Amino acid sequence: MLTKMEINENDVTLAFQAHCIQTTPYITENETQLGAAIAAYKQLDRAVDYEPEENFNTYDNEDGTVNIYSYNGSNSVVNIPPTIDGMTVVKIGNNAFRENETITKVTIPSTVTEVEVGAFNKTPNLTQVKISKNLTNLCGQAFAESGLTEITIPAGVQTLTDSCFAYNPNLVTVNMTEGLEEIGNNVFANCTSLKTMFLPEGLTKLGGAAFNGCTSLESVTIPESVTDFGESFNFEGCNLTKLTIRGVAGSPAQTYAENNGIKFEAIS
């Protein structure tokens, strides 16, 4: 009979026991078994430490839901709760976290469908955001002038509104999924660390000045579905001698590149 291995983390001990119950034939208690227990522990669902509800000011929508309109806590890592006072959180309101210089990481729950104008504007130390998978509206300047290094746009978002991620000097990676239809004006303007961009299939509009001031930008892949390039040049202030637009031969992207003196590379 195997005895319980006493180690500091209770969850690891439980995972160890569970692993042993499921493993046949029994293996001896050694480093290999401990490693398996730790691996099992990593697969466990663990409770999220949500931010205390009293750290948020909310607006009651009178339908069992609330909007967060401000945050008065002092934590650097903020896991926004899905409910406050028993009501479902559905929206991060205008300027809710604006000019907060303490937060470094935020998780937005799956109940939230909208991040309003300037919600996380001017948050220079905010480097990581996990956006709600059910988000549909991401409004203007929502994450402008933040410290984000990477962002993933959920499939439910159809439009990135004007200046949504503008002036993010550390933004390197932007992951977009099919479902996005429109990128507004100045959305990535002055994101000086961006080097490559892959715009998703199904996108129809790339708003004017979308990449203005992106001085490190070297490659933008534009799908054939993009037919509207906005009313102003999209790459003002970029290094056009190093920039390449990639797209389908004969597509509007090729016409746009050639009309603006930008190198074009055809892809299959």
Instruction: Express each pLDDT in 13-69 by its tens digit.
Output: 444 344 444 444 444 455 566 566 555 544 443 456 899 999 999 999 999 999 999
Measured between its terminal Cα atoms, the distance across the chain in Å is 62
* Separation of alpha carbons 74 and 103, rounded Å: 8
Looking at residue 246, its pLDDT comes to 98
Nearest-5° Cα angle at 123, 175 to 113: 55
* Separation of alpha carbons 241 and 149, rounded Å: 25
3-state secondary structure of 21: helix
Q: Evaluate whether 84 touches 58 at the Cβ level (below 8 Å).
A: yes
Looking at residue 34, its pLDDT comes to 59
Looking at residue 7, its pLDDT comes to 38
Looking at residue 268, its pLDDT comes to 75
CB atoms within 10 A of CB 44: 11
* Separation of alpha carbons 41 and 39, rounded Å: 5
Looking at residue 24, its pLDDT comes to 43
Does residue 244 carry a pLDDT above 80? yes
Condensed to tens digits (0 to 9), the pLDDT of residues 86-137 reads 999 999 999 999 999 999 999 999 999 999 999 999 999 999 999 999 999 9
Does residue 12 carry a pLDDT above 50? no
Looking at residue 46, its pLDDT comes to 41
Residue 72 has phi, psi (to 5 degrees) of -120, 15
Q: State the average pLDDT for the chain.
A: 87
Looking at residue 221, its pLDDT comes to 98
* Separation of alpha carbons 64 and 173, rounded Å: 37
Structure tokens at 241: 């001698």
Residue 12 has phi, psi (to 5 degrees) of -65, -40
Condensed to tens digits (0 to 9), the pLDDT of residues 163-205 reads 999 999 999 999 998 899 999 999 999 999 999 999 999 999 9
3-state secondary structure of 165: coil
CA distances from 132 to 56, 81, 137, 236 (A): 18, 12, 11, 32
Treating both helix axes as pointing N-terminal to C-terminal, what angle do 10-22 and 31-42 enclose, rounded to 10 degrees? 110
Looking at residue 14, its pLDDT comes to 40
Looking at residue 32, its pLDDT comes to 60
Does residue 160 carry a pLDDT above 90? yes
Does residue 142 carry a pLDDT above 50? yes
Q: Evaluate whether 82 touches 109 at the Cβ level (below 8 Å).
A: yes
Looking at residue 39, its pLDDT comes to 58
Cα-trace Rg, the chain = 23
